[in-house]
Amino acid sequence: EHTIYLKDYTPSPYRIVSVDLDFRILTENTRARAQLTVEPRDDTAPGTPLVLDGDGLVLGSIAIDGAPLVLSAYAANDDGLTVFEPPLRRFVLETEVTLQPETNTKLMGLYRSSGTWCTQCEPEGFRRITYYLDRPDNLAVFKVRMTAPLDVAPVLLANGNLVDKGDAGDGMHYAVWEDPFPKPAYLFALVAGDLGSITDSFITGSGRKVDLGIYCTHGKEDQCLWAMDSLKRSMAWDERRFGLEYDLDVFNIVAVSDFNFGAMENKGLNIFNDKLVFAKPDTATDGDYDGIERVIAHEYFHNWTGNRVTCRDWFQLCLKEGLTVYRDQEFTSDERSRAVKRISDVATLRRAQFPEDGGPLAHPPRPDQFREINNFYTTTVYEKGAEIVRMLATLLGEAGFRKGMDLYFERHDGEATTIEAFLAAFADANGVNLDQFKTWYLQAGTPKLTVNEHYDADRQTYTLKLTQETQPTPGQPNKQALVLPIKFGLLGPNGSPMGWSEVSGAEVRDDLIVLNSAMAEVTFTGIANRPVASLLRGFSAPVVLESQSSQQDQLFLARHDSDPFNRWQALQDVGMALAVAAVKGTPWSDASVTALSEALAETLGSETLDDAFKALALNIPDEQSIGREIATDIDPDKIHAVRGKLLHAVFEPLAMQLLATYNALASTTPYAPDALSTGRRSLRNRMLGLLLASEAAGADMLAAQQYGNATNMTDRMAALASSTYAGTPQVAGMLADFRTRFGGDPLVLDKWLAVTAAAPRDGVIEDMKAILADPSFPKTNPNRLRSLVGTFAMNNPTQFARADGAGFRFVAEFVTEVDKINPQVAARVLTGFRIWPMLDSTRRDAAKGALAALQATALSRNVADILTRMVGG
């Protein structure tokens, strides 16, 4: 058992205060020499061994203060290095190791991506570079010297500022970088390669000039402009919104092709998965542009929330991640449409986080144990973590939240800290108690908030009975009541806001009910007519809301609510109710479908709503959402069929309007990624998707035409994806064309792989097997693997969960194979199985069979950990 517990946290008896690294990078191998300045703590007893982490390192030499150590003075093995009796004073430990970046397919530590040497150290990659206290609470200043062949690696980058460079003879050159800010090792980075770049600069609020650079494969420079634009806007926003200025003279970003994650916030040297940097209109979609803007901002914002103030231990991961996701969400909301951003974030939360929280892999945002920390970079830590910060902001108000942030930086700048310290800053800055609020970080599971309403005409009172309940999750049988901030409003008969004379039963401030017990009855007095309540406006708490609201009330909200989120939500709820009832055997009535159609038609025709909002509203919940709502004994085929029929019934009557809107939205201006143009394209493409889904005459041809004539990737991809989902006769031709046109650009090939893998049709597994069997398919590239098999496991509910088990077996076999190459990618794909307990018994058995077969093979710790939790071991 490798389980690590939060309760066992102890500071290390030694500290590393400064690090001098010297890399000699050669094409056959890289030699890394480290000089660590080490200090014992005041209370460290004589004879306490110094235990450093290491992972697969081979020690060449070792010395303390220049004197080589005798063999009996230390022990080095595959997990690290122990110096038995180091001096009880400050000393310099020098080690030398030889690394093999060429064969490093795990992509942790130093590796080579398309010829470029680069690093990934978070969370535990630095120990694959040198022996170290590879834990986030050891902050040290780093100086890095790199020597490399000038022809293969003319560009040499590391954290901080360039302090020296020059010729090193024999075709070699060197560069020395120094980072004055003490940092944990996970923020270390170096890059060496033959790279192109674009440069720019930013003047900070206090007038300092920061040199900005984005490095990439030669020839892709023109695809980095959007990333640079996003970076500059992020820098300006963080000053405006949080008063946070950048602190070094240089900020560099490097795009690499092989990367386990989206990007990494190394101090002053962010390294990015190239799919989150490169964009041009004919190869990147609006979604790609959004993703780049968001992640560039996210990594930049980490400079304060993550780097200047970091985590004490990895249990505190959401201290930096939840907070930084909240910050990037706010950035996008300020730059684009707040309502649209909120709706899409909540959709993502429900699609990804809710199933995690309600399944076998559920864990608290701050876990208290783990076997493999890489498996905790989850949507719970990131997105639920952001929801918690958002609730804090809702409870404290914008000014109160800002006071808390300011105090947090005042107290903890330059420290490695905890969730407790974070909350204490907000509590102290606002004079409030957040003890109960903290439970959000400690408790797993999505609470269910049930609302019952009662209007008393005689007394003119309106009562909302609010009940919260959280189901048990693995390891947590009993759940506490949480603090739920419930934003709300009451609507009068004509749709306008309704006031009240008094309210009792819970803490209510203006438009906010704070529920902090399992149950409360909130009574409003002075209510002349039965109101319609709009609850959980803006999705003010990450819960499942259950109300007895009639279709009529929902559609009333859809028309009149001043909260755009709830207008969208109301339409989704109506569609959901019809779909769920039909799957369970109660067909919808014509009247209820007509009522929904009419409300959607009105939404589409609205003069006040914007296009992006309409595009989100004009839909019914996806197959997975319907499945989650049903929750037990799911038959994905049935859901697929019912949803298809519902789309048809609801949207066929609107065909003329859909087509007219489609035509009216055609654009003649060149592509631009701004919010308005993006919204226009998304509405137009939604119209196309709905025409296809409702089998309108000629829709397949229209889609094929749009595909062929598209002048940007957004429109081309939208036509291809909707045609594939609908299975039109033209799809095969379009897919073949796409492959020929774009097969040479790996990032566009990913789109082809993903759309292929998501097709809800028999034969897709055979097609994927053929793709994987092609010797030219790069099994070491995470983007390719995730686009194909990751998409299949996450986004193809009917074929992945086939009743004959072929989908499960395919993914399990893939995991076995890829685990040997890259355990992180394998473990991530395996999480697609988390839906298994919700399926019908045939499919459950099939999933269990595939998982059992996987369990019988030799597995990495990453995969073994997910598997054990998945099957409940």
H or E element in which residue 145 lies = strand 140-149
Residue from 188, 215, 370, 377 that binds ligand B3K (CB under 6 A)?
377
Residue 106 binds: one of ligand B3K, Zn ion, none (C-beta under 5 to 8 A by kind)? none
Candidates 315-323, 407-415, 629-637, 669-677 — which segment interacts with Zn ion by CB under 5 A?
315-323
Cis previous bond, 778, omega within 30 = no
Residue with tokens 């796409």: 738
Kindly tell me which of 15 and 384 has the beta carbon lying closer to ligand B3K. Answer: 384
Residue from 265, 356, 357, 623 that binds ligand B3K (CB under 6 A)?
265
Nearest to 111 by CA among 677, 103, 399, 325: 103
Q: Are 803 and 846 in contact (CB under 8 A)?
A: yes
Residue from 290, 299, 561, 573 that binds ligand B3K (CB under 6 A)?
299
Residues 6+ apart with CB under 8 A from 783: 257, 258, 259, 273, 275, 746, 747, 750
Residue 289 binds: one of Zn ion, ligand B3K, none (C-beta under 5 to 8 A by kind)? none
Candidates 316-324, 490-498, 601-609, 626-634 — which segment interacts with Zn ion by CB under 5 A?
316-324
Q: Are 550 and 533 in contact (CB under 8 A)?
A: no
Kindly tell me which of 377 and 808 has the beta carbon lying closer to ligand B3K. Answer: 377
Cα-Cα-Cα-Cα dihedral sign, residues 849, 853, 854, 855: positive
Q: What is the largest CA-CA distance in the chain?
A: 95
* Shortest separation between residue 318's beta carbon and Zn ion, angstroms: 10
- Tell me the three-class secondary structure of 67-135, residue by residue: EECCHHHEEEECCEEEECCCCCCCEEEEEEEEECHHHCCCCCEEEEECCEEEEECCCCCHHHCCCECCC
Nearest to 634 by CA among 797, 393, 815, 430: 797
Residue 261 binds: one of Zn ion, ligand B3K, none (C-beta under 5 to 8 A by kind)? ligand B3K
Candidates 176-184, 294-302, 471-479, 683-691 — which segment interacts with ligand B3K by CB under 6 A?
294-302
Kindly tell me which of 309 and 536 has the beta carbon lying closer to ligand B3K. Answer: 309
Residue with tokens 């017990």: 517
Is residue 264 close enough to count as binding ligand B3K by CB under 6 A? yes
User: What is the three-class DSSP state of 244?
Assistant: coil
Is residue 304 close enough to count as binding ligand B3K by CB under 6 A? no
Q: Are 313 and 136 in contact (CB under 8 A)?
A: yes
Residues 6+ apart with CB under 8 A from 780: 105, 258, 821, 822
Candidates 198-206, 257-265, 399-407, 487-495 — which segment interacts with ligand B3K by CB under 6 A?
257-265
Residue 264 binds: one of ligand B3K, Zn ion, none (C-beta under 5 to 8 A by kind)? ligand B3K
* Shortest separation between residue 331's beta carbon and ligand B3K, angstroms: 14
How far is C-alpha 782 from the geometric centre of its chain's CA atoms? 16
Nearest to 146 by CA among 114, 94, 200, 110: 110
Q: Which of residues 306-365 bind ligand B3K (CB under 6 A)?
A: 321
Kindly tell me which of 306 and 489 has the beta carbon lying closer to ligand B3K. Answer: 306
Is residue 261 close enough to count as binding ligand B3K by CB under 6 A? yes
* Shortest separation between residue 286's beta carbon and ligand B3K, angstroms: 22
Candidates 193-201, 205-213, 297-305, 559-567 — which segment interacts with ligand B3K by CB under 6 A?
297-305
Distance CA 444, CA 470 (A): 9
Residue from 30, 116, 285, 374 that binds ligand B3K (CB under 6 A)?
374
- C-alpha dist (Å) from residue 812 to 249, 800, 806, 820: 48, 11, 10, 13
Rounded to 10 degrees, the C-alpha dihedral 445/446/449/450 comes to -80
Kindly tell me which of 215 and 382 has the beta carbon lying closer to Zn ion. Answer: 382
Kindly tell me which of 263 and 486 has the beta carbon lying closer to ligand B3K. Answer: 263
Distance CA 4, CA 369 (A): 5
- C-alpha dist (Å) from residue 817 to 107, 430, 657, 863: 16, 53, 50, 11
* Shortest separation between residue 136's beta carbon and ligand B3K, angstroms: 11
* Shortest separation between residue 300's beta carbon and Zn ion, angstroms: 11
Amino acid (1-letter code) at residue 683: L
Candidates 296-304, 482-490, 518-526, 569-577 — which segment interacts with ligand B3K by CB under 6 A?
296-304
Kindly tell me which of 327 and 681 has the beta carbon lying closer to Zn ion. Answer: 327
190-193 and 155-158 strand pairing: antiparallel
* Shortest separation between residue 187's beta carbon and ligand B3K, angstroms: 9
Q: Which of residues 286-305 bind Zn ion (CB under 5 A)?
A: none
Is residue 380 close enough to count as binding ligand B3K by CB under 6 A? no
Candidates 78-86, 215-223, 317-325, 632-640 — which segment interacts with Zn ion by CB under 5 A?
317-325
H or E element in which residue 512 lies = strand 512-515
Distance CA 705, CA 733 (A): 12
Residue 323 binds: one of Zn ion, ligand B3K, none (C-beta under 5 to 8 A by kind)? none
- How many residues bind ligand B3K (CB under 6 A)? The answer is 12
Q: Which of residues 318-337 bind Zn ion (CB under 5 A)?
A: 321, 324
Q: Give the tokens for residue 706.
A: 């749009």
The string of DSSP letters for 339-394 reads: HHHHHHHHHHIIIIIHHHHTSTT---SS-SEES-GGGG-SHIIIIIHHHHHHHHHH
Kindly tell me which of 312 and 628 has the beta carbon lying closer to ligand B3K. Answer: 312
Cα-Cα-Cα-Cα dihedral sign, residues 762, 763, 769, 774: negative
- How many residues bind Zn ion (CB under 5 A)? The answer is 2
Candidates 10-18, 298-306, 521-529, 827-835 — which segment interacts with ligand B3K by CB under 6 A?
298-306
User: What is the three-class DSSP state of 776?
Assistant: coil
Residue 286 binds: one of ligand B3K, Zn ion, none (C-beta under 5 to 8 A by kind)? none
Residue 715-754 contact track with Zn ion, rule CB under 5 A, x = bound: ----------------------------------------
Is residue 134 close enough to count as binding ligand B3K by CB under 6 A? no
299 among known catalytic residues: yes
Residue with tokens 């001096």: 87
The string of DSSP letters for 543-601 reads: -EEEE---HHHHHHHHHH-S-HHHHHHHHHHHHHHHHHHHHTT-PPPHHHHHHHHHHHH
Residues 6+ apart with CB under 8 A from 685: 615, 714, 715, 718, 719, 722
Residue 377 binds: one of Zn ion, ligand B3K, none (C-beta under 5 to 8 A by kind)? ligand B3K
Q: Which of 299, 321, 383, 387 is catalytic?
A: 299
Using only the alpha carbons of the chain, give its radius of gyration. Answer: 28
* Shortest separation between residue 806's beta carbon and ligand B3K, angstroms: 31
* Shortest separation between residue 291's beta carbon and ligand B3K, angstroms: 13
Residue from 122, 274, 453, 700 that binds ligand B3K (CB under 6 A)?
122
* Shortest separation between residue 324's beta carbon and Zn ion, angstroms: 5
Q: Which of residues 535-554 bind ligand B3K (CB under 6 A)?
A: none
* Shortest separation between residue 718's beta carbon and ligand B3K, angstroms: 29
Candidates 50-58, 295-303, 593-601, 857-865 — which segment interacts with ligand B3K by CB under 6 A?
295-303
* Shortest separation between residue 310's beta carbon and ligand B3K, angstroms: 11
Q: Which residues contribute to the site for Zn ion (CB under 5 A)?
A: 321, 324
Binding residues for ligand B3K (CB under 6 A): 122, 260-261, 263-265, 298-299, 302, 321, 374, 377
Annotated catalytic residues are 299
